[in-house]
Amino acid sequence: MADEHVPQPSSEVAPAPHRRRVRYSGKNPRRFEEKYKEHDPQLYAETVAKVVAAGKTPAGTHRPIMVAEILEVLAPQPGEVAVDCTLGYGGHAQELLARIQPGGRLLGLDADPIELPKTEARLRAAGFGPDVFTAHRSNFAGLPQVLAAADHAGVDLLLADLGVSSMQIDDPARGFSVKLAGPLDMRMNPSRGQSAAALLEKIRPETLGELFRENADEPLADELATLLAGKKFSTTTALADAVRGALARLQREAADLAVRRVFQALRIAVNDEFSALDTWLRHLPACLNPGGRVAVLTFHSGEDRRVKKAFAAGRREGVFVEIADEVIRPTVTERNANPRSTAAKLRWARRVAA
Ligand SMILES: C[S@@+](CC[C@H](N)C(=O)[O-])C[C@H]1O[C@@H](n2cnc3c(N)ncnc32)[C@H](O)[C@@H]1O
């Protein structure tokens, strides 16, 4: 597979191999890998619909957030060129693809070499051939290089839905989950950089405290940093237990929130998320065609602050003719139906026409 920043379509799509039915104890599968029906929505639509109706995300899938709102602000038109900078499961991409036909094209970027080929195969199976859709394993910080390699001076639509997908969170092997036991990894691309375990083992307490403050607004940053820096935690549960143990004086809910903030801060650091976002925001004006639109979904204040500031600067400098003055939030109906949408904030901007 191509190196990041050296944009190329991802690997050829091979036919799915025959798989034996997964065996599990009890009436219903409990573990991520046992939920084979949820992993295959095409084949088991009824099971998947039941899981969704219960407000959950079927294993191995991702439910796209604020689809109607994103379509409204991006206003995709037939013939336009779009980039989904965070392809994930391809939910948003599929909606955009349907609206830019005939004649349109969508480039899907993702840093994750494990999920990207699966999403590419699903979108091919949904009827989007290489003439209308291409998948690129690339960090979105490398957007200009991806566009140059695909011979696009600029594009009409850009979307970024930041953070990690449900496939990544729910798979214990990826090490993102605060609830599921797995290796303490957290890398979107496991073949690049260092795992969260390696980071913790090497980092100094002052640096870790700064990271907890900057990446997650953690109120007990220094206390937790002193406890965790330089220690070896091989699993997600070992780290979560250490944080809970240190905060035994707090109510269970408060300690759980601290665990979440520690995981978030480490994930952002391991994947260098803020520097990728800053680079992408700097490149935006040059990557958008005149009149082009960009939409960004953020999930915490560190992300939203950066997007808000960059869009406001673009408007002051006359690059953007219009930006979202107020952040757009998911409806109550969506938050109830999909609790994972709760923290989402949508911002958008439109480039000047000429
Ligand atoms: C929230 S999910 C996107 C879900 C997608 N909108 C959908 O409908 O399925 C975020 C995705 O962006 C990817 N990602 C996050 N940061 C990235 C970056 N800097 N460059 C490329 N991909 C990134 C993650 O690997 C993940 O697949």
Ligand 1 atom 14: residue of nearest CA: 86
Q: CA 91, CA 88: separation in Å to the nearest integer? A: 8
Ligand 1 atom 15: residue of nearest CA: 163
Beta bridge partners of 235: 183
Which residues does ligand 1 sit against, CB inside 6 Å?
A: 62, 64, 86, 88-92, 109-112, 115, 139-140, 161, 163-165, 188, 276
Q: Which residues have a Cβ under 8 Å from the Cβ of 155 and sit 6 or more positions away?
A: 80, 81, 82, 83, 107, 147, 287, 288, 289, 292
pTM, full prediction: 0.88
Q: Where are the alpha helices (DSSP H) in 126-251?
A: 143-149, 166-170, 196-202, 205-216, 221-228, 236-246
Q: For residue 298, give the nearest of 62, 65, 142, 94 by alpha carbon.
A: 65
pLDDT of residue 22: 60
pLDDT of residue 95: 98
Q: CA 75, CA 69: separation in Å to the nearest integer? A: 10
Say if CB 184 and CB 233 are below 8 A apart.
yes
pLDDT of residue 69: 98
CA dist 297 → 117, 300, 303, 309 (Å): 23, 10, 9, 15
Ligand 1 atom 4: residue of nearest CA: 88
Which residues of the chain, if any, have pLDDT below 70? 1-25, 27
pLDDT of residue 287: 98
pLDDT of residue 13: 43
Angle at 301 between CA 295 and CA 307, to 5 degrees: 35
pLDDT of residue 50: 75
Ligand 1 atom 2: residue of nearest CA: 165
Say if CB 218 and CB 262 are below 8 A apart.
yes
Average pLDDT, the chain: 91
pLDDT of residue 40: 80
Read off the amino acid at residue 82: A
Q: CA 295, CA 75: separation in Å to the nearest integer? A: 11
Residue to substitute in 3, 110, 187 for testing ligand 1 pocket (most ligand atoms within 8 angstroms of CB): 110
